[in-house]
Amino acid sequence: MTKEINFDVRSSRNLTMLVDFYELTMGNGYLRDGLKDKIAYFDMFFRRVPDGGGYCIMAGVEQLIEYLSNLKFTKEDIDYLRSKQIFAEEFLDYLENFEFCCDVWAVPEGNPVFPNEPLVTVRGPVIQAQFIETMILLTINHQTLIATKANRICRAAQGRTVMEFGSRRAQGYDGAIYGARAAVIGGCASTACTIAEEMFDIPASGTMAHSWVQLYPSEYEAFKAWAEVYPENCTFLVDTYNVLKSGIPNAIKVFDEVLKPKGLRPKGIRIDSGDITYLTKKCRKMLDNAGYSDCKIVISNSLDEHIINDVISQGAKVDSFGVGERLITAKSEPVFGGVYKLVAIEDDNEIIPKIKISENEEKITNPGFKKIYRIFDKDNDMAIADLIALNNEVINTDSSLEIFDPVYTWKRKKLTNFYVKDLMVQVFDKGKQVYESPSVLEIKDFASEETEKLWPEVLRFENPHTYYVDLSSNLWSLKQSLLHKYTDQYK
Amino acid sequence: MTKEINFDVRSSRNLTMLVDFYELTMGNGYLRDGLKDKIAYFDMFFRRVPDGGGYCIMAGVEQLIEYLSNLKFTKEDIDYLRSKQIFAEEFLDYLENFEFCCDVWAVPEGNPVFPNEPLVTVRGPVIQAQFIETMILLTINHQTLIATKANRICRAAQGRTVMEFGSRRAQGYDGAIYGARAAVIGGCASTACTIAEEMFDIPASGTMAHSWVQLYPSEYEAFKAWAEVYPENCTFLVDTYNVLKSGIPNAIKVFDEVLKPKGLRPKGIRIDSGDITYLTKKCRKMLDNAGYSDCKIVISNSLDEHIINDVISQGAKVDSFGVGERLITAKSEPVFGGVYKLVAIEDDNEIIPKIKISENEEKITNPGFKKIYRIFDKDNDMAIADLIALNNEVINTDSSLEIFDPVYTWKRKKLTNFYVKDLMVQVFDKGKQVYESPSVLEIKDFASEETEKLWPEVLRFENPHTYYVDLSSNLWSLKQSLLHKYTDQYK
């Protein structure tokens, strides 16, 4: 419906300078040090699924592509940087004539993803590959966080509709806009954020606020006025004064007086406060008794996956949930800790793997230029494991494959009847965009299909089974040898 | 330095359509119902200080003004809305010819603010006053949240420098950009977010990433290369391999070899992992023994006010803190729960106060068109209390003033030697902007000055004294009468 409309708030904005200042000082340093053409490889990955979940939903690739396609330093940017008096003119020239020429691979949006696997890999001149760190992290961290949270909330709703309602409590305008996008990828049916429909062709919806009810002399008059303007779209907010003594009786009265004579049915009633389980049960009975058993009950009020779980298990009569602040900010865990680490450089066209050591084992990186194979069971298409391999490794699916835990290496599994999928796709080839993003609703469907390929034990809400993310033998051996090399130095 | 540069990523963006969809359906409804010129009053306020703190720091007014100054529906917006097939042509005409004509009052940025007092008050035609709800809340909620969190973190640092480092973990691009702005208002000395310096003339700073160190064959060579490019700006990240066995010895070696011959001093060393208290004490000794007692120690690594408090109390030797994800997302409490409520309408030029009832006492609103008086002690300029009064009330500072707790009304206090300040300023007069925002650094200084006028008991980190926010006798009586009127109906 809105596909033809060529409106895009994003394209009018140049975010090139949204960069941590040290990317610029390092870039200037590399240039001064003769490393302008030094090829480096960086991986973006995360270490832990938020909220103790079993997987995340990848999101943000479309916006990352837009950013990388539009990298451009304006005259004002260059003047501003010059005024800092620490950058060489040669570096400012480089920026003024900046031409993005990196290769970029990414896991397409909507895929379930797991800790320690590269979500984005960049290969290119170190100045460029380093420069884009901030925006890669910012873009993928934010949208993956919200898509993952939305997915949890939608699973808790067990098939009931979840609407994203959080704009007013988002962390900034983009928090609302791209948060709505990610929420739909994660499973929400709609958003209250109008601009998000215009930009992404995802359904915007909404009903009325308390102020509508308050503005009229009485609740009855407020409902009646609404029903006369929107007879086919009557969802009344019934908790402005008193849900059971005023809201529902007035709603039923207006349904009877305004809708019935026109042969129309009500859409729903919404409750935004009070004891949800108790009120929805009572409301359901009152509506049913009045002949409105098709009138949906919508609830909203600081909901999250736990409250939704709880009210459903208590038998609340709810058809759909409006979820606001706890979704749009991922309140229970509002940080997605993706990192961007150097994993290799090139010397005379040879790839030299690099590792980042840490006393915290979790923080040790997987070295080298890599890819991810997702391994599926041929019989039922269920995902068995992910295997991180070196980029030049090919998996022979005709013979058996032994995978093993990278820490407890005696935990081994022999796979026979399987097929694999190369999870990352190339999105830039020497700076040229070579991938087109699907629409948001296509991504939403894809996320739903791919999530269904995970075993229920991985999908589990609390204490999920840890999905296998193993290293190929070659990668494991490479990592061990680099680890020993470095740690031998600091015994 | 960058003041002359006329760069503004914001002005190129039209956020008019960043609105909850129900503002539009309600607007259409009001118009259809003949309420186009109905005058309404709305208050934006919050109910609770995040993190159990004693006050918040107001922020976001400049961006709110920009939004209100630039309200404009494009042809594409109108086409998109028409395609929804629920809006009357008359309403679409109204939007196409939209001219903002509301009066708006706001508490200027940097002021300490407290629960239940209006931070923004809007008076105007209900369609317009309702329409701007989402952006008022989004703008003020986000920046006040981050300014308040930054203020907590900076207080914990007890005078040490705090740098904002969080862009990569922010919730969207604006989360990074306006988050950096709010962080500086709250007290941060600088930000890593380059575009924020360009936009707001707040200092951007940064040093090096682990990747710089990894890219070179050895840490020593990496430090040396840096020192040769930036001899006057040497802050080395010393934890890539091993802080005490490698990082600090290499730093000292490079200070000796590269800086000393030039007669230059190092700026600092940064530690981003490990046991901060232990490491900083050891590093301090090693640096002091090598003759670099002026070399600052910077730490970063998932810091917040509690960790900063803790490491300082344990005697860690830290000169400055780089604070990332826990500041830029206000991780411990990432939602600022500001609301926007109808408080009055006009009938024949008479103001009719409105109240929102709730079974939850905290959610009952203060009715009417109001202002806030901050009451100061004449002797020492310390803030004694805030008094919310009806807009036409004037406080006579020549006679004594009795204030009382609005719930425990027997708690009374008689003030004599005082003066008052009218806290809100008018920012729009019938749609015309009548207020110019100060610069961000001016707001930062103002915030610091005004915060110092709060008693230490209110500033206290844990379990602060509740600052008095009282209602004038007239307002209190009005509220009681409306409460009784409504509750009598639903006994």
DSSP code per residue over A21-58: HHHHHHHHHHHHTT-TT-EEEEEEE-S--GGG-S-EE-
In the prediction, which pLDDT does B11 show?
Answer: 47
pLDDT in tens, A152-178: 999 999 999 999 999 999 999 999 999
Q: Is the pLDDT of residue B151 over 80?
A: yes
Range 383-412 of A in CB contact (< 8 A) with B: none
Give the separation between CA A76 and CA A96, rounded to whole angstroms. Answer: 10
Residue B296 covered by a domain: yes
**A231 touches B at CB < 8 Å:** no
Please check whether residues B48 and B120 belong to one and the same domain. Answer: yes
Query: Does one domain contain both A54 and A97?
Result: yes
Q: How far is CA B298 from CA A403, B125, B313, B321, B340, in A?
A: 43, 53, 17, 6, 42
Q: Longest C-alpha distance within chain A, in Å?
A: 86
Nearest by CB to B26, which of A33, A209, A358? A209
**């709609």: which residue's tokens?**
A190
**Residues within 8 A of A (CB atoms), B 413-472 only:** none
Which of B29, B198, B326 is opposite residue A226, by nearest beta carbon?
Answer: B29
- In chain A, which residues have their Cβ closer than 8 Å to the Cβ of B20? 165, 167-168, 192-194, 206
Q: CA-CA distance, A342 to A133, in Å (whole number)?
A: 11
H or E element at residue A486: helix A473-489
**Pairing assessment for the beta strands B412-415 and B468-471 based on DSSP bridges:** unpaired
State how far the Cα of A330 lies from the Cα of A143, in Å rounded to an integer.
11
> Is residue A435 a contact partner of residue A103, using CB atoms and an 8 Å limit?
no
User: Do the beta carbons of residue A198 and residue B17 sit within 8 Å?
Assistant: yes
Q: Are residues B346 and B472 in the same domain?
A: yes
Residue A362 confidence (pLDDT) above 90: no
Residues B482, B368: one domain?
A: yes
If asked whether residues A339 and A485 sit together in one domain, one would say yes
Tokens of A69: 């396609």
* % of chain B exceeding 70 in pLDDT: 97
- In this prediction, residues A218-232 reach a mean pLDDT of 97
Interface test with B, best of A173, A243, A300 (most B CBs within 10 A): A173
Show residues of chain A in contact with B9, CB under 8 Å: 13-15
C-beta atoms of B241 and A357 within 8 A: yes
**For residue B252, what are its two tokens?**
């000292």
Are B301 and B82 in contact, with CB atoms under 8 Å apart?
no
By Cβ distance, the residue of B20, B33, B211 closest to A167 is B20
Q: Return the H-helix or E-strand segment holding B476.
A: helix B473-489
The answer to the question of residue A481 being in a domain is: yes
Percent of chain A with pLDDT over 70: 97
Question: Is B2 close to A363, i.e. CB distance below 8 A?
Answer: no
> Per the domain annotation, does A339 fall within a domain?
yes
Q: Does A200 touch chain B (CB under 8 A)?
A: no
Q: Which of A76, A171, A338 sits opposite B172 (nearest CB)?
A: A171
- H-state helical runs in B290-432: 305-313, 325-328
Which of A304-313, B202-211, B354-363 shows the lowest per-residue confidence on average (mean pLDDT)?
B354-363
Quick check: B359 and A273 CB within 8 A?
yes
C-alpha–C-alpha distance, residues A486 and B214, integer Å: 12
B171 within 8 A of B329, measured Cβ to Cβ: yes
Report how many helices (DSSP H) and strands (DSSP E) chain B contains, helices first: 17, 21
Is some CB atom of chain A closer than 8 A to the CB atom of B341?
Answer: yes
> Which of B2, B75, B171, B323 to probe by mutation at the A interface, max A CB count within 10 Å?
B171
Does residue B177 sit at the A interface (CB-CB below 8 Å)? yes
- Which of B215, B331, B357 is facing A241, going by the closest CB pair? B357
Tokens describing residue A342: 């150097």
B38–chain A Cβ distance below 8 A for any pair: yes
Nearest-angstrom CA–CA distance, A183 and A187: 6
Question: Helix, strand or coil for residue B315?
Answer: coil
d(CA B38, CA A209): 17
Provide, as residue numbers in chain A, all residues whose Cβ is less than 8 Å from the Cβ of B331.
Answer: 334-335
d(CA B143, CA B444): 13
Amino acid letter at B325?
E
Find the mean pLDDT for residues B309-328. 97
Q: Among residues 14-33 of chain A, which lie with CB inside 8 Å of chain B?
A: 14-15, 17-26, 28-30, 32-33
Inter-chain residue contact B245 with A490, CB threshold 8 Å: yes
User: What is the pLDDT, as a whole number, of residue B363?
Assistant: 86
Element containing residue B470 per DSSP (H, E)? strand B468-471
Is there a single domain that holds both residue B192 and residue B301?
Answer: yes
Residue type, A77: D
Chain A's closest residue to B77, CA to CA, is A198
List, for residues B184-233, the tens digit of each pLDDT value.
Answer: 999 999 999 999 999 999 999 988 999 999 999 999 999 999 999 999 99
User: CB distance from A192 to chain B under 8 Å?
Assistant: yes
**Centroid of chain to Cα B381:** 24
Contact call for B167 and A486, based on CB within 8 A: no
CB B58 within 8 A of CB B147: yes
Check A80 against B7: CB less than 8 A apart: yes
In this predicted structure, the answer to whether residue A263 has a pLDDT above a threshold of 60 is: yes
Do B101 and B183 sit in the same domain of this protein?
A: no
Angle at A421 between CA A416 and CA A425, to 5 degrees: 160
DSSP state letter for B155 = H
Q: Averaged over B479-489, what is the pLDDT?
A: 89
Q: What is the extent of the structural domain holding B53?
A: 21-146+334-489
Q: pLDDT per residue over A54-71, tens digit each?
A: 999 999 999 999 999 999
Tell me the average pLDDT across B116-129. 98
Whether B8 is covered by a domain: the verdict is no
Task: Examine the pLDDT at A424 and tell me if it is beyond 50.
Answer: yes
Q: pLDDT of B12-68, one tens digit each?
A: 589 999 999 999 999 999 999 999 999 999 999 999 999 999 999 999 999 999 999
**Is B7 within the bounds of a domain?**
no
pLDDT band at A207 (very low <50, low <70, confident <90, very high): confident
> Do the bridges between strand A383-390 and strand A320-323 make them parallel or antiparallel, or are there none, so unpaired?
unpaired
- Coil, strand or helix: which one is A204? strand
| CATH number, position B45 | 3.20.140.10
Query: Which of B305, B328, B351 lies at the terminal end of a domain, its last residue?
Result: B328
Within-domain flag for A12: no
Q: Does A352 touch chain B if contact means CB atoms closer than 8 Å? A: no
Q: B172, A179: Cβ pair inside 8 Å?
A: yes
Closest chain A residue by Cα to residue B10: A13
Residues of chain A positioned with their CB less than 8 A from the CB of B83: 1-2, 5
**Helix H or strand E encompassing B163:** strand B161-164
Of the residues B328, B357, B379, the one at which a domain ends = B328
At B6 the pLDDT is 36
Count the Cβ atoms, other than its own, within 10 Å of residue A380: 8
Rounded distance between C-alpha atoms, residue A266 and residue A264, angstroms: 7
* Total number of domains constituting chain A: 2
Same domain, B34 and B165: no
With CA atoms as reference, the chain B residue closest to A357 would be: B241
B172 in Cβ contact with A175 (< 8 Å): yes
pLDDT band at B487 (very low <50, low <70, confident <90, very high): confident
A148, A49 Cβ separation under 8 angstroms = yes
SS3 letters across B196-261: HHHHHCCCECCCCCHHHHHHCCCHHHHHHHHHHHCCCCCEEECCCCCHHHHHHHHHHHHHHHHHHH
The answer to whether residues A353 and A236 belong to one domain is no
The shortest CB-CB distance from A138 to any of B137, B176, B210 is to B176
- With H, G, I as helix, E, B as strand and everything else as coil, classify residue B353: strand
* Per-residue confidence (pLDDT) for residue B301, from 0 to 100: 85
Strand, helix or coil for residue A271:
strand
Q: B68, B48, B20, B70: which is closest to B144 by C-alpha?
A: B48
Rg value, chain B, Cα: 26
- For B153, list phi and psi in degrees, rounded to 5: -65, -45
What pLDDT shows up at residue B207?
Answer: 84
CB–CB contact B242 A176 (8 Å): no
Beta bridge partners of B404: B412
Cβ neighbours of B169 in A, within 8 Å: 137-138, 141, 335-337
Amino acid making up residue B314? Q
Q: Identify which of B472, B359, B484, B465 has the alpha carbon closest to the alpha carbon of residue B406.
A: B472
Q: Give the CATH number of the domain where residue A219 resides.
A: 3.20.20.70
Confidence (pLDDT) at A11:
47
Cα separation of B283 and B293, whole Å? 10
CA distance B319 to B270: 10
Residue at a domain's end among B328, B348, B379: B328
Shared domain for A262 and A344, answered yes or no, is no
- Contact (CB<8Å) B130/A209: yes
DSSP state of B119: S
Q: B269 and B295 in contact (C-beta within 8 Å)?
A: yes
Whether residue B83 is found in the same domain as residue B197: no
Q: Do A138 and B245 touch (CB under 8 A)?
A: no
Chain A (237-256) residues lying within 8 Å, Cβ to Cβ, of chain B: 240-242, 245-246
Q: Would you state the structure tokens that stand for residue B306, as one six-digit string? A: 């509690």
Domain presence at residue B12: no
In chain A, the percentage of residues whose pLDDT exceeds 90 is: 92
User: Does the beta carbon of A48 lie under 8 angstroms from any beta carbon of chain B?
Assistant: no
Going through A83-169 in order, the beta strands assigned E by DSSP cover 103-106, 112-113, 120-125, 161-164
Q: How far apart are CA B181 and CA B163, in angstroms?
A: 12
Note the pLDDT tens digit of each residue in A430-467. 999 999 999 999 999 999 999 999 999 999 988 999 99
pLDDT score for A12: 59
Beta bridge partners of A471: A388
A363 in B contact zone (CB under 8 Å)? yes
- The Cα of A274 is separated from the nearest Cα of chain B by a number of Å equal to 7
Whether residue A357 sits in one domain with residue A298: no
Q: Is the pLDDT of residue A226 over 60?
A: yes
pLDDT tens-digit readout, B296-318: 999 998 899 999 999 999 999 99
* Residue B6 falls inside a structural domain: no
Tens digit of pLDDT for each residue in B383-437? 999 999 999 999 999 999 999 999 999 999 999 999 999 999 999 999 999 999 9
pLDDT confidence of residue B360 = 78
pLDDT in tens, A32-48: 999 999 999 999 999 99
Residues forming a β-bridge with B402:
B414
Q: How far apart are CA B252 and CA B247, in angstroms?
A: 9
CB-based contact B403:B421 (threshold 8 Å) = no
Q: Give the integer Cα–Cα distance in Å for A409 and A471.
A: 10
For chain A, the average pLDDT equals 95
Q: Which one-letter DSSP state was computed for residue B397?
A: S
